[in-house]
Amino acid sequence: MTLEYFIRRVIQFFVIVFLAVTLNFFFPRMSGQDPIREKLLQLEAQGVSITGEGVEEFIASYNTKFGLDKPILEQYLTYLGQMARLDLGQSIAYFPQQVSSLVLSAVPWSIGLLLTATLMSFTIGTLVGALIGWGNAPRFLQFIFPAFFVFSAVPFYLMGLLLLYVFAFQFKLLPLFGGYSTSTLPSPTIDFYMEVFKHSILPALSIVLAQTGYWALGMRSMMVTIEGEDYILQAEAKGLKKGRIFFQYAMRNAILPQITALAMSLGTIISGAILVEVIFAYPGVGSVLVRAILGFDWFVIQGVVFLIILTVAFSMLIIDLIYPLLDPRISYRGD
């Protein structure tokens, strides 16, 4: 792979991260709001009494602690430095807990859910789409396909709500919310893992049902396009077996834009997944975010947003770097 390709992708990664950091820094401050004051005022409104010395001094001391009284530029540079070290500050609501630890405890749940659900939809969708596009699909697939197609128009979380309603409420088959039932304590036992699994079925299913159609659609149109390509005709003229033509000639070419599409849609997928977590009260990053929003916990909000953007950018980078391994034209062309 050429150096130029590699460098461009890495630069792109840093640009995205930089934009995220800057966004995180400037927007909230642009509004002139003071997060500490907001939080304290809110606490006060909820009837929590603030320590006696007078709210203003309290606010001031916290501002110093959080560095909010320094000039903007200095704050920005400090912020950049902190971000680089992945020091996301401390939560206001759960002070003095570090934002990073708060988020990190939720990350495994999110990754587990997202990774499995996305991988499943991508694989199933791509295969189904390829079969349908190639014209070789078994009957039943051709029937389900339009349904999936329509599903892909519905956002994940709505799918989730519908599923919740049908399976958890109406038929009481699966749990309503959470990562595990409220009476269980997390422990590395089989029972616990079963709980986790049961609780993750619906959230995962909503993502899968809503996403698969999208991948199938893309793959299908790619396969239809490729079917008309000259090298497919030549492959048939060579008397190759149908299976070989399907996999090595058609799919191997069609999968390339699919993978690009995957990289490009990571952001959307994650946005959707977050909302799914919210719907199902799944203990992932989404729930952390919602709690933080509810509690005006600004640093947590910013921390979550930053981390997620960082993850997306990083995943995109990985996919971009893997891509030349699949498409020999890229390594040499140097994109």
Instruction: Map the footprint of another protein across residues 265-324, applying CB under 8 A.
Output: 266-268, 270-271, 274-275, 278-279, 289-290, 293-294, 298, 301-302, 304-305, 308-309, 312-313, 316
Smallest Cα–Cα separation from 199: which of 122, 283, 123, 285?
283
What the block records as the tokens of 327 is: 């498409």
Tell which one of 68, 144, 168, 174 touches another protein (CB under 8 A): 168
- Site for another protein (CB under 8 A): how many residues? 81
Beta carbon of residue 94, minimum distance to another protein (angstroms, whole number): 18
* 88: contact with another protein by CB under 8 A: no
Q: Which is nearer to another protein, 63 or 260 (CB)?
A: 260
Please identify, using beta-carbon distances, which residue of 68 and 158 lies nearer to another protein. 158
Token reading at 325: 């391994």
Q: Is 206 in the site for another protein (CB under 8 A)?
A: no
Nearer to another protein, 184 or 268 (CB): 268
Give the tokens for residue 114. 């997202």
Q: How far is the CB of 131 from another protein (least distance, A)?
A: 14
Nearest CA among 260, 253, 262 for reference residue 227: 253
| Residue 239 contacts another protein per CB under 8 A | yes
The DSSP element (H or E) to which 153 belongs, if any, is none
**How far is it, in rounded angstroms, from Cα 118 to Cα 195?**
21
Q: Which residues contact residue 132 at a Cβ distance below 8 angstroms, ignoring those fewer than 6 apart?
A: 141, 142, 145, 216, 220, 223
Placement of tokens 């349908």 in the chain: 132
Task: Return the residues of window 148-167 that contact another protein according to CB under 8 A.
Answer: 149-150, 153-155, 157-158, 161-162, 164-165
